[in-house]
């Protein structure tokens, strides 16, 4: 998710009345929706200081006119409001197990309850002594450059053969702190779909179970779950990978931050290319997958049920992995914000990586289809320049972005969950390694070079003879 596209919006908004200006007003709601939602989640899900989060993680995206966006934290009602120069007001409220929600239109259903744990509780992660070489690598990962932009690393967890061999946190963060995953949430959606595939409830091939596309005469009928995971559905959903002067008005950004029923808006998009022929990274593709999750796992109610959806996510994935601090946020229809909005501790994110390192097996039980990790890391045609698989980024390829990552130290067999501002869960099968790095790094590359070098240094440290 690249949100630096908000900068042109604010510069335009500073000189234009928002009321009655449809496109500009909609784009302004993207800025205020982002601000209210992220501050609400950081404050009430993670317990972080909203002023620090505003300064480190939001203002850099809002750009030089960030002072036009005002916010207020209402701790008594667990809510955050934001406006842009007095216009485009947005209010986000904390709803317990469903995280925060930006209120738009009709009232949402009552907040869901957090499901009781029914799966066997996994043992805590084993911890091994941290070697001097890994300590030195952690020092470099947390060190700030001489000049901005700052790195602002918040957490690193390193698993080697399933044991913690390195772990460090910034001030104010710890083993119990849920941290935003941004687009790493797409990899969680991949896992939840993998569970449904293993259970025989959906298939990645064939027409996706989307009611609006059910008619064979609809050209979108040919879109598969595989197409949506690989970002080659052909739908006109904009793009969430790079910034441009007009991407403040990008369809995916508007759907994510300014629409009430996000999946419905995404499903309504027309085709711009034949499914499978055009790779375009767009957050809204994963929001369609999120609706499929809700409908297939959401119990007996028509359209699905948010309590049943969360029960499925916890019972069949989170609790089995031992995720202790995971909050998957929902929209007003009970659909997961599966493109961008899961908060979890660094150790929780590491357990997700370990699941893929072990090809979907947990304590001897295959909860994802055998070969699902290989499927997820298999490169998608058209994404060669950056290396994208099916809900994961991949180093299997020869494009410029892949070559750079390999040259910096991340091996060719590595694949990763990756999110805005430098969120990473990197899986290296050849080294039996998982590296989690979380932070607020507002640079175009999200500190990729430093993170790739960290991976290389850890591989060298863990492969050295004792």
Residue 66 lies in a domain: yes
Say what the pLDDT of residue 24 is. Answer: 63
Co-location of 298 and 219 in the same domain: yes
Residue 424, pLDDT > 80, answer: yes
CB 348 within 8 A of CB 325: yes
What is the band of 11 on the pLDDT scale with cuts at 50, 70, 90? very low
Q: Averaged over 142-161, what is the pLDDT?
A: 93
Co-location of 355 and 271 in the same domain: no
Domain span at residue 316 reads: 185-325
Residue 111, pLDDT > 70, answer: yes
Say what the pLDDT of residue 442 is. Answer: 86
In sign, the C-alpha dihedral spanning 399, 401, 407, 411 is negative
Query: What's the CATH number where 286 sits?
Result: 3.40.710.10
- Report H helices in 298-426: 306-313, 319-321, 346-357, 372-377, 400-408
Residue 117 lies in a domain: no
Residue 356 lies in a domain: yes
Give the residue from 325, 359, 385 where a domain finishes: 325
Residue 334 lies in a domain: no
In sign, the C-alpha dihedral spanning 113, 343, 347, 396 is positive
Q: Averaged over 280-300, what is the pLDDT?
A: 91
CB 29 within 8 A of CB 102: no
Q: Mean of the per-residue pLDDT values for the chain?
A: 91
Say what the pLDDT of residue 300 is. Answer: 47
Co-location of 311 and 192 in the same domain: yes
Phi-psi label, residue 139: left if phi above 0, alpha if psi -120 to 50, beta otherwise: alpha
> In whole angstroms, what separates CA 24 from the centre of its chain?
26
Co-location of 439 and 393 in the same domain: yes
Task: Count the domains in the chain.
Answer: 3
Say what the pLDDT of residue 106 is. Answer: 84
Residue 119 lies in a domain: no
Q: Averaged over 382-403, what is the pLDDT?
A: 96
Q: Which residue has the higher pLDDT, 185 or 106?
A: 185
Residue 193, pLDDT > 80, answer: yes
In sign, the C-alpha dihedral spanning 247, 248, 251, 253 is positive
Say what the pLDDT of residue 121 is. Answer: 83
Co-location of 392 and 424 in the same domain: yes
Co-location of 197 and 149 in the same domain: no
Residue 16, pLDDT > 60, answer: no
Say what the pLDDT of residue 60 is. Answer: 87
Say what the pLDDT of residue 2 is. Answer: 57
What is the band of 15 on the pLDDT scale with cuts at 50, 70, 90? very low
CA–CA separation, 318 and 349 (whole Å): 11
Residue 245, pLDDT > 70, answer: no
Residue 125 lies in a domain: no
Co-location of 215 and 295 in the same domain: yes
Long-range contacts of 237-240 (CB under 8 A, 24+ apart): 237/266, 237/269, 237/280, 237/282, 237/283, 237/284, 237/285, 238/282, 238/284, 239/280, 239/281, 239/282, 240/1, 240/2, 240/183, 240/281, 240/282, 240/283
What is the band of 244 on the pLDDT scale with cuts at 50, 70, 90? very low
In sign, the C-alpha dihedral spanning 198, 189, 435, 166 is negative
What is the band of 112 on the pLDDT scale with cuts at 50, 70, 90? confident
CA–CA separation, 159 and 433 (whole Å): 6
pTM for the whole structure: 0.94
What is the band of 264 on the pLDDT scale with cuts at 50, 70, 90? very high
What is the band of 129 on the pLDDT scale with cuts at 50, 70, 90? very high
CB proximity list for 232: less than 8 A, separation 6 or greater: 275, 276, 277, 278, 279, 280, 380, 381, 382
Co-location of 162 and 204 in the same domain: no
Co-location of 192 and 321 in the same domain: yes
Residue 350 lies in a domain: yes
- Report H helices in 64-184: 132-142
Give the residue from 325, 353, 385 where a domain finishes: 325
Residue 239 lies in a domain: yes
Co-location of 159 and 191 in the same domain: no
Model confidence pLDDT, tens digit, residues 402-421 = 999 999 999 999 999 999 99
Co-location of 146 and 278 in the same domain: no
Co-location of 435 and 358 in the same domain: yes
Give the residue from 297, 325, 353 where a domain finishes: 325
Biggest alpha carbon–alpha carbon distance for the chain: 69
């Amino acid at each position: 998710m690249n949100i630096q596209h908000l900068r042109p919006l604010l510069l335009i908004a500073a000189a234009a009345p928002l009321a009655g200006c449809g496109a500009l007003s909609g784009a302004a709601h993207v800025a205020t929706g982002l601000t209210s939602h992220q501050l609400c989640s950081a404050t009430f899900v993670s317990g972080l200081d909203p002023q620090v989060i505003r300064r480190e993680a939001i203002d850099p995206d809002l750009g030089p006119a960030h002072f036009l966006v005002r916010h207020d934290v209402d701790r008594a009602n667990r809510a955050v409001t934001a406006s842009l120069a007095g216009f485009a007001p947005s209010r986000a409220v904390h709803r317990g197990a469903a995280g925060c929600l930006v209120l738009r239109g009709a009232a949402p259903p009552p907040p869901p309850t957090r499901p009781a744990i029914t799966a066997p509780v996994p043992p805590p992660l084993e911890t091994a002594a941290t070697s001097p070489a890994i300590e030195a690598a952690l020092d470099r990962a947390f060190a700030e450059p001489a000049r901005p932009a700052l790195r602002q690393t918040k957490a690193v967890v390193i698993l080697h053969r399933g044991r913690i061999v390195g772990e460090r946190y910034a001030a104010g963060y710890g083993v119990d702190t849920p941290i935003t995953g941004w687009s790493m949430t797409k990899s969680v959606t991949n896992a939840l779909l993998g569970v449904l595939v293993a259970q025989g409830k959906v298939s990645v091939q064939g027409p996706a179970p989307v009611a609006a596309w059910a008619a064979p005469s609809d050209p979108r009928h040919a879109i598969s779950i595989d197409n949506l995971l690989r970002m080659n559905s052909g739908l006109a959903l904009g793009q969430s990978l790079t910034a441009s002067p007009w991407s403040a008005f990008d369809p995916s950004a508007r759907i994510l931050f300014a629409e009430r029923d996000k999946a419905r808006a995404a499903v309504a998009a027309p085709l711009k290319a034949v499914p499978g022929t055009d790779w375009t990274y767009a957050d809204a593709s994963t929001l369609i997958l999120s609706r499929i999750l809700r409908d297939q796992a959401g119990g007996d109610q028509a359209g699905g049920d948010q309590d049943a959806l969360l029960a499925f996510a916890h019972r069949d994935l989170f609790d089995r992995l031992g995720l202790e601090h995971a909050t998957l946020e929902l929209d007003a229809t009970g659909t997961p914000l599966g493109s961008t909005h899961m908060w979890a501790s660094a150790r929780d994110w590491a357990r997700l990586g370990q699941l893929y390192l072990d090809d979907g097996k947990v304590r001897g039980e295959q909860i994802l289809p055998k070969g699902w990790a290989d499927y997820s890391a298999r490169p998608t045609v058209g994404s060669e320049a950056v290396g994208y698989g099916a809900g994961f980024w991949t180093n299997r390829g020869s494009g410029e972005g892949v070559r750079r990552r390999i040259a910096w130290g991340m091996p060719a067999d590595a694949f990763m969950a990756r999110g805005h501002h430098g969120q990473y869960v990197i899986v290296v099968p050849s080294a039996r390694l998982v590296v989690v790095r979380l932070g607020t790094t507002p640079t175009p590359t999200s500190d990729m070079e430093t993170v790739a070098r960290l991976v290389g240094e850890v591989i060298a440290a863990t492969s050295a003879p004792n």
